[in-house]
């Protein structure tokens, strides 16, 4: 079943409205699939992720986004999230004074639309932390404050596992991570992944793709998807770069 | 305070409950006759009436402060200077008239008394309607009673301390206070007695256009310790209300007093309160203060560190919304060597609210090795709100450590966006960030207050963000 359908999407930057970023982008993702988006810097990869979430940084000038049968093109970020979309941020924020526990409880309660039993939640969080090799001590710490880059990314995956969304967008979750941390992230994705949900991975490297069952790889250049292929396309890009690929066209 | 936040119910402001109450006496204005009438109804010794009348003269002589928020619109003739509720002072909540008891029930006062307090006092408009202290503490010589009663019951202590810590000449509104003072609490903790549970006094101003002038005097004798909690609130009306209370504190040698206040006056009230503490050798005063309400607050608790190694610490939080001007801070006088001041202040302003933090530190020549650390952080939720920090210091020796840090922040749109991407609404996102900002202060509050404070933050943000 079709989970995400993006048609003719075009955006400009809120703070520089002459700047076109996405320019006629089309993408369809079905349940059970893993898609990968690669592409040179500045091509619009992160913009795509944030446009789907209706970030204040971008303005849509054309196109539509249908998620799970609902038109989310003009919905607010929180409505979109509550429909079952999740993004692992490239640069997660820090929240001084907000403990990891309180943060996780707040988002989980919102998702369930009720206050969950604290002990049951604690148990659930701990089992997921264990899978991701996150120390329980982090529960008492302030959210992301003083966390290393790798710890912040694992914290994103932890939230993903806890919220169990329908579609996950991983925006360069692997960048800056060491090999072991990438393996942990992949483990998290595999624990989460099933036939009814889907993953969209934005990346520069194939490291994160090893151990994942990738269905499609898209190349995003100048705001458009210029090429789509299977997992081998990613390895070809890693070997040969984007330039030779673009010359082929 | 209200100790339990009812889940899954819409947030309703419990402080705004309006109660129809038939008072037995309501006096307007400020004349010799009103004061004589108030004094007569209290059966006070004659020196008290003389003192009140002297204070009245002073009030008329003294001028409004020439700094700080404008309060020139205050017309004392329109303030009900004395409102006597239709209730005597009771020792059991069962004897308090229902309509008054209901208010305190909703505020959670009797409930918290059962579980967490060693004693409770409750004032409704101008008079105390409930006061109680655990018997075992009475047996150990602890005194906790209505201040009016203390005047006749404990004349020696009153003669030694009353109006000595805060003199009548201090400023115009303390003169007003001494002319009209009514209700409040008197506490004496004998030498060496350490209370395990706090005492709590709650001041409720119910009547539209009324003033409240309660007097609190606390003496913590040598080697004793006390945690005192003071709560204040009023429902919102259009008439201007006035609160000009006075708190006099004395902390003896090696004694410790933790004085916590959660103030949620209605936004039609002027809060011109005066608080002062004298601290003897190695004693410690901790001021913990949450200011949410009032139209204008001017409140700068003063600590006089008279003994060597005396300490003062301030943990302050203010939250100013539309039409509010919260002018708070501290004054500290270091009169002895090795005295310490520590202050952590945070303020939040939104919808054009103004938070001002004033610190005024005096270090005497003999107060060598004084150690002073002041930090104040403010958070502004929009570009029309204001936050000011005004530090003043007068240092008379060069052997001290002094640090003053100030910072101003805004909620970043990226934080809001991130939290919304997790499903929280914009308001919930802002509330979580504000709670986080307030958290280091909130954790100093008694636990039920901390819960209440988060609820207040949520209430304050209701419908205003976004």
Q: What ipTM was estimated for this complex?
A: 0.97
Provide the 3-class DSSP secondary structure of residue B144: strand
> What is the rounded end-to-end Cα distance, in angstroms, of chain B?
30
pLDDT recorded at residue B2: 35
Of the residues B411, B414, B423, the best mutation for testing chain A's interface (the one with the most A CB atoms within 10 Å of its CB) is: B423
> CA nearest A85: which of A115, A60, A117, A48?
A48
> Chain B partners of A164 at a C-beta cutoff of 8 Å?
none
Q: Share the mean pLDDT of chain B.
A: 90
pLDDT recorded at residue B409: 86
* pLDDT-based confidence at residue B11 (cuts at 50, 70, 90): very low
In DSSP terms, B212 is beta-bridged to B243
Q: Count of CB atoms within 10 A of residue B191's CB?
A: 14
Q: Is the pLDDT of residue B9 over 50?
A: no
pLDDT single digits (tens) A166-213: 999 999 999 989 999 999 999 999 999 999 999 999 999 999 999 899
Alpha helices in B21-130 (DSSP H): 32-41, 46-61, 98-107, 109-116
Q: Is the pLDDT of residue B8 over 80?
A: no
* pLDDT-based confidence at residue B278 (cuts at 50, 70, 90): very high
Task: Choose between B69 and B8: higher pLDDT.
Answer: B69
How many angstroms separate the CA atoms of B50 and A221, rounded?
Answer: 88
pLDDT single digits (tens) B101-115: 988 888 888 888 887
> CA nearest A8: which of A225, A220, A217?
A225
Chain A to chain B, count of Cβ pairs less than 8 Å apart? 70
* pLDDT-based confidence at residue B6 (cuts at 50, 70, 90): very low
How many angstroms separate the CA atoms of B67 and B214, rounded?
Answer: 25
How many angstroms separate the CA atoms of B466 and B463, rounded?
Answer: 8
| Domains, in order of start, for chain A | 2-248 (3.40.50.300)
Q: Is the pLDDT of residue B453 over 70?
A: yes
In DSSP terms, B119 is beta-bridged to B133, B199
pLDDT recorded at residue B5: 32
* pLDDT-based confidence at residue B465 (cuts at 50, 70, 90): very low
Mean pLDDT across the stretch B19-24?
Answer: 75
How many angstroms separate the CA atoms of B368 and A97, rounded?
Answer: 36
pLDDT recorded at residue B174: 97
* pLDDT-based confidence at residue B294 (cuts at 50, 70, 90): very high
Using a CB–CB cut-off of 8 Å, the residues of B that contact A are 7-8, 412-415, 417-418, 420-426, 428-429, 432-433, 435-440
Instruction: Find out whether A38 and A172 touch, Cβ atoms under 8 Å.
Output: no
Lowest mean pLDDT among A218-222, A241-245, B249-253, B267-271: A241-245
> Chain B partners of A98 at a C-beta cutoff of 8 Å?
432-433, 435-436, 439
Lowest mean pLDDT among A55-64, A105-114, B53-62: A105-114
Give chain A's radius of gyration (CA, Å).
Answer: 18
* pLDDT-based confidence at residue B159 (cuts at 50, 70, 90): very high
How crowded is the C-beta side of B168, counted as CA atoms within 13 Å? 20
The DSSP-derived string for A15-55 is TEEEEEEEEEEEEEEETT-EEEEE--TTSSHHHHHHHHTT-
pLDDT recorded at residue B3: 31
Helix%, strand%, coil% for chain B, nearest 5: 25, 35, 35
pLDDT recorded at residue B208: 87
Instruction: Find out whether B320 and B293 touch, Cβ atoms under 8 Å.
Output: no
pLDDT single digits (tens) B24-64: 888 887 899 999 999 999 999 999 999 999 999 999 999 99
What angle do the packed helices B426-442 and A100-112 form, to 10 degrees? 150
Q: In what helix (H) or strand (E) does residue B247 lie, and over which residues does it extend?
A: strand B246-251
- Six-digit token pair at A22? 């996405």
What is the DSSP secondary structure assignment for residue B274, as one 8-state letter? E
Touching B: A residues 36-55, CB under 8 Å: 53, 55
Domain boundary assignment for chain B: 14-299, 412-466
| Phi-psi sector, A7: left (phi>0), alpha (psi -120 to 50), beta | beta
Is A109 at the interface with chain B, CB within 8 A? Answer: no
> CA nearest B133: which of B80, B232, B199, B86?
B199
């Amino acid at each position: 079943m079709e989970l995400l359908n993006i048609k003719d999407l075009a955006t400009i930057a809120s703070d520089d409205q002459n700047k076109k970023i996405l320019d006629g982008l089309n993408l369809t993702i079905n349940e059970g699939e893993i898609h990968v988006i690669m592409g040179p810097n500045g091509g619009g990869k992160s913009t795509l992720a944030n446009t789907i979430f209706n970030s204040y940084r971008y303005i849509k000038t054309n196109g539509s986004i249908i998620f799970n049968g609902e038109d989310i093109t003009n919905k607010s970020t929180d409505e979109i999230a509550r429909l079952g979309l999740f993004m692992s941020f490239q640069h997660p924020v820090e929240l001084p004074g907000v403990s990891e526990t309180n943060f996780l409880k707040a988002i989980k309660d919102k998702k369930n639309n009720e206050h969950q039993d604290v002990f049951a939640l604690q148990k659930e969080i701990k089992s997921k932390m264990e899978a991701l090799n996150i120390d329980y001590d982090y529960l008492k710490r302030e959210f992301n404050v003083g966390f290393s880059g790798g710890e912040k990314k694992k914290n994103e995956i932890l939230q993903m596992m806890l919220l169990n969304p329908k579609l996950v967008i991983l925006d360069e979750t692997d960048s800056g991570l060491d090999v072991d941390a990438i393996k942990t992230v992949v483990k998290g994705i595999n624990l989460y992944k099933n036939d009814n949900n889907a993953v969209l991975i934005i990346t520069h490297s194939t490291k994160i793709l090893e151990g994942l069952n990738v269905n499609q790889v898209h190349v995003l250049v100048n705001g458009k998807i210029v090429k789509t292929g299977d997992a081998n396309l990613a390895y070809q890009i890693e070997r040969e770069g984007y330039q030779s690929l673009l010359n082929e066209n | 305070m209200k100790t339990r936040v009812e889940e899954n119910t819409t947030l309703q402001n419990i402080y705004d409950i309006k109660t129809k109450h038939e008072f037995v006496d309501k006096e307007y204005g400020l004349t010799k006759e009103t004061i004589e009438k108030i004094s007569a109804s209290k059966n006070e010794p004659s020196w008290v009436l003389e003192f009140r009348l002297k204070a009245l003269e002073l009030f008329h002589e003294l001028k409004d402060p020439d700094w700080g928020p404008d309060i020139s619109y205050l017309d004392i003739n329109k303030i009900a200077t004395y409102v006597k509720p239709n209730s005597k002072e009771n020792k059991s909540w069962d004897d308090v008239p229902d309509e008054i008891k209901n208010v305190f029930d909703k505020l959670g006062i009797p409930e918290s008394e059962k579980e967490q307090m060693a004693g409770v006092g409750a004032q409704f408009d101008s008079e105390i309607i409930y006061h109680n202290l655990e018997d075992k503490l009475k047996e150990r010589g602890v005194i906790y009673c209505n201040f009016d009663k203390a005047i006749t019951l404990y004349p020696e202590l009153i003669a030694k301390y009353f109006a000595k810590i805060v003199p009548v000449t201090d400023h115009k509104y303390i003169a007003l206070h001494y002319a009209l003072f009514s209700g409040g609490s008197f506490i004496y903790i004998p030498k060496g007695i350490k209370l395990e549970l706090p005492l709590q006094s709650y001041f409720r101003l119910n009547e539209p256009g009324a003033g409240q002038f309660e007097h609190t005097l606390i003496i913590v004798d040598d080697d004793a310790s006390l945690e005192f909690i003071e709560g204040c609130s009023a429902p919102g009306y259009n008439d201007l209300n006035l609160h000009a209370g006075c708190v006099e504190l004395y902390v003896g040698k090696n004694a410790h007093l933790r004085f916590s206040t959660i103030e949620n006056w209605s936004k039609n009230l002027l809060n011109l309160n005066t608080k002062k503490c004298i601290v003897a050798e190695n004693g410690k005063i901790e001021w913990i203060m949450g200011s949410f309400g009032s139209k204008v607050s001017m409140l700068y608790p003063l600590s006089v560190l008279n003994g060597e190694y005396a300490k003062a610490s301030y943990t302050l939080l203010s939250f100013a919304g539309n039409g509010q001007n919260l002018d708070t801070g501290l004054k500290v006088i270091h009169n002895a060597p090795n005295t310490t001041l520590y202050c952590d202040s945070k303020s939040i302003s939104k919808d054009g609210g103004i938070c001002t933090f004033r610190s005024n530190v005096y270090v005497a020549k003999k107060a060598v090795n004084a150690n002073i650390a002041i930090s104040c952080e403010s958070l502004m939720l929009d570009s029309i709100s204001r936050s000011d920090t005004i530090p003043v210091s007068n240092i008379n020796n060069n052997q001290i450590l002094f640090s003053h840090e100030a910072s101003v922040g805004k909620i970043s749109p990226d934080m809001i966006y991130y939290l919304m991407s997790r499903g929280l609404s914009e308001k919930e996102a802002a509330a979580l960030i504000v709670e986080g900002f307030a958290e280091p202060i909130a954790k100093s509050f008694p636990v039920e207050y901390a819960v209440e404070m988060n609820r207040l933050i949520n209430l304050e943000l209701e419908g205003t963000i976004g």
